[in-house]
């Protein structure tokens, strides 16, 4: 971009200014060939051609020359754990550790660098990727941490390994040898570990996560908090921080069956990670048939009766309900429970509430049809497939190749009319919106692939629709001025069906292009992010 004065710090504090952006590519269904856009009072006022932009030039406060840059709606990440994502950014991140030995070396270095921390926190180990194929043993962690309390969550955040010193702080936890802690034991040690985070550390982590999101063109986050995930104080402090500083919008979901508390905390729904089951990597996702590498079917936290009670209560109170469900048995319980609630309070009311299911990985034709029937939004994370899919991935280890290939069937879900909202589940996978779109468009299982356009829509407008908002996540007059400006190459139309792609690139189709996301190609670089007409990120020049 050149002559970029419209989105200065002054403009960030003055959303009533009228701004004309021109000389670029504007991704808008209002005009598939748009090169210009007017923003006024925090909303999109006009989208159109370069010639028509001349009529606005003299009547606006600022003119921005895009210099050929692409303007798109800002992304919405529909599933984030903001403080934990920030702690991974500012603290001990093990996602890059290629072996158990490397992870222990990182623990030693981190412990030495943080002598004043009462409890050491880390995240991201994944023994499935290590040559040793096992989690750290407690004695190894005790040595690496120098005898100090240490909490290390697995990449999926559904199990953890800890030191003896941390166990000493949590009476009642009875570990099974050196096995990672799961279920109630894990929740107990996590609460103890997070309780040691000071308000200053928490605010630092939250700011780091929000700033990283803004730098990636993310304009909105759905925070998935809850009593088994973080704390009420963490949740409310994040909402307060987001409200008082320029940055992405934060919509909070509180995973609790206490509806009064959810309202009191400022949650938009008693939803998010209200656990019906756990995760595949930790062998706690609830399955109909046993794991391929274990002799059990995982863990059920809520049954269909509990799901029905929660959905009916939320529907009656005008709140969104929602659940974390990954395994096929867990998803079946959700479907049966929501259907029972619909029989009690009425299908139309349940559909209108747009209740949501997080992750929804092991879908079947029957549960896909049920999601469409019941109006359930699937809040999904395509980066999971990129990380753990494929013939040699963790999914195949846990489920066997045949069941693994059935996971995350986005194309079938879209064909059935299931609303999709894309997110990262950060810190489980990184904040990376274009990478997420790429993962859905180039799914490891070809029949589950969707077009780049459909994936982009799920990561922009889909997140707003999941909130019950149909007027946002799109650059049309009247929509909120939440947008990002990108440096990118030639715009193209990519779809799994080559016939569709060929027709969509014909000018007669009027299909706006998007960046080439072919694996191996460079992803777009965010130049600026604007939320409600206020600039929240500008990439430093040079």
Residues in the chain: 542
| pLDDT number for residue 499 | 53
Best CA proximity match to 320, nearest among 296, 351, 293: 351
User: Is the pLDDT score of 12 beyond 50?
Assistant: no
Query: What is the average pLDDT across 391-400?
Result: 96
The reported pLDDT for the residue numbered 503 is 44
According to the model, what pLDDT value does residue 183 have?
86
Q: Is the pLDDT of residue 267 over 50?
A: yes
For residue 436, give both structure tokens: 């997420």
Cα 55 to Cα 73: distance, rounded to the nearest angstrom:
24
DSSP lists the bridge partners of residue 357 as 323, 378
pTM: 0.90
Topology of 83-195 in CATH?
Answer: Diaminopimelate Epimerase; Chain A, domain 1 (3.10.310)
Helix 452-459 / helix 433-441 crossing angle, nearest 10 deg:
140
Taking the CA of residue 105 as centre, how many other CA atoms within 13 Å lie in the half-sphere pointing to its CB? 7
In 3D space, the residue among 361, 366, 364, 274 whose CA is nearest the CA of residue 311 turns out to be 274
What pLDDT score was predicted for residue 6? 33
Beta strands in 237-362 (DSSP E): 249-254, 269-270, 320-325, 356-359
Percent of the chain residues topping a pLDDT of 90:
82
Q: Checking phi first, is residue 345 left (phi over 0); if not, alpha (psi -120 to 50) or beta?
A: alpha
Quote the pLDDT of residue 228: 84
* Contact criterion met (CB below 8 Å) for 37 and 24: no
pLDDT digits (tens, 9 = 90+) for 498-512: 655 444 445 555 678
Band of pLDDT at residue 197, cut at 50, 70 and 90: confident
Torsion sign across C-alpha atoms 108, 110, 115, 121: negative
Q: Where are the beta strands (DSSP E) in 383-429?
A: 420-422
- Residue 287: closest CA among 273, 297, 296, 295: 297
Phi and psi, residue 159, nearest 5°: -155, 165
Q: Where are the domains of the chain?
A: 9-73+474-488+524-538, 83-195
pLDDT in tens, 56-114: 988 999 999 999 999 999 999 999 999 999 998 988 999 999 999 999 999 999 999 99
Both tokens of 415, joined, read: 């064909």
CB 513 within 8 A of CB 489: no
State the DSSP code for 2.
B
Fold entry, domain 9-73+474-488+524-538 = Urease, subunit C; domain 1 (2.30.40)
Cis? peptide before 447, omega within 30° of 0: no
Which tokens hold the place of 71?
């303007």
Cα of 111 vs its chain's centroid, Å: 30
pLDDT band at 258 (very low <50, low <70, confident <90, very high): very high
Query: Would you say residue 264 has pLDDT above 50?
Result: yes
Q: What are phi and psi of 298, to 5 degrees?
A: 90, -155
Of 81, 82, 85, 75, the C-alpha closest to 464 is 75
Between vectors from CA 185 to CA 179 and to CA 186, what angle results, nearest 5°?
75
Higher pLDDT, 91 or 540: 540
Mean pLDDT score, 225-247: 95
Q: Which residues contact 222 (CB under 8 A, 6 or more apart)?
A: 76, 77, 78, 79, 80, 251, 252, 253, 272, 379, 421, 423, 463, 466, 467
Q: What is the pLDDT of residue 14?
A: 47
pLDDT of residue 13: 46
């Amino acid at each position: 971009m050149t002559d970029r004065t419209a989105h200065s710090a002054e403009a960030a504090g003055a959303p009533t200014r009228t701004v004309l952006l021109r000389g670029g590519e504007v991704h808008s269904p209002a005009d598939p060939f748009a090169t210009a856009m007017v923003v006024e009072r925090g909303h999109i006022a006009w989208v159109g051609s370069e010639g028509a932009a001349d009529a606005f030039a003299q009547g606006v406060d600022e003119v921005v020359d895009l210099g050929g840059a692409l303007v798109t709606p800002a992304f919405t990440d529909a599933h984030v754990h903001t403080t934990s994502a920030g702690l991974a950014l500012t603290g001990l991140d093990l996602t890059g550790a290629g072996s158990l030995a490397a992870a222990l070396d990182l623990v030693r270095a981190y412990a030495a660098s943080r002598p004043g921390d009462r409890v050491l926190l880390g995240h991201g180990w994944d023994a499935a990727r290590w040559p040793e194929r096992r989690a750290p043993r407690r004695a190894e962690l005790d040595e690496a941490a120098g005898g100090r309390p240490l909490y290390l969550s697995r990449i999926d955040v559904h199990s953890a390994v800890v030191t003896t010193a941390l166990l000493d702080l949590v009476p009642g936890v009875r570990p099974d040898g050196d096995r990672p802690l799961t279920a109630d034991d894990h929740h107990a040690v996590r609460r103890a570990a997070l309780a040691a985070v000071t308000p200053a550390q928490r605010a630092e982590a939250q700011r780091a996560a929000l700033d990283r999101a803004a730098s990636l063109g993310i304009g909105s986050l759905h925070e998935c908090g809850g009593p088994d995930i973080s704390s009420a104080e963490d949740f409310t402090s994040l909402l307060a921080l987001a409200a008082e500083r320029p940055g992405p919008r934060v919509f909070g979901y509180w995973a609790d069956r206490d509806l009064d508390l959810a309202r009191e905390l400022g949650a938009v729904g008693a939803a998010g990670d209200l656990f019906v089951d756990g995760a595949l990597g930790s062998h706690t996702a609830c399955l109909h048939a046993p794991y391929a590498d274990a002799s059990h079917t995982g863990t059920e936290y809520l049954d269909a009766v509990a799901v029905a009670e929660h959905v009916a209560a939320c529907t009656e109170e005008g709140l969104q309900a929602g659940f974390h469900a990954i395994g096929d048995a867990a998803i079946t319980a959700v479907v049966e429970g929501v259907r029972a609630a619909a029989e009690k309070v009425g299908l139309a009311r349940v559909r209108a509430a747009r209740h949501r299911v997080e992750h929804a990985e092991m879908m079947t034709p029957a549960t896909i049809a049920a999601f469409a029937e019941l109006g359930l939004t699937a809040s999904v994370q395509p980066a999971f497939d990129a990380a753990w899919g494929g013939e040699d991935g963790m999914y195949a280890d846990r489920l066997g190749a045949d069941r693994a290939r059935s996971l995350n069937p986005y194309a079938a879900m879209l064909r059935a009319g299931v609303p999709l909202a894309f997110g990262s589940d950060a810190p489980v996978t990184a904040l990376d919106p274009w990478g997420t779109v790429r993962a859905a468009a180039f799914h490891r299982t070809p029949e589950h692939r969707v077009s780049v356009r459909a994936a982009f829509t799920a990561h922009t407008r889909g997140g707003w629709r999941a909130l019950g908002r149909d007027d946002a996540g799109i650059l049309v007059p009247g929509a909120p001025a939440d947008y990002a400006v990108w440096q990118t190459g030639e715009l193209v139309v990519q779809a799994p069906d080559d016939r569709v792609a060929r027709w969509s690139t014909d000018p007669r189709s009027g299909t706006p292009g998007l960046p080439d996301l072919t694996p191996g190609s460079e992803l777009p670089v965010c130049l600026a992010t604007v939320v409600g007409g206020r600039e929240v990120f500008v990439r430093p020049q040079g």
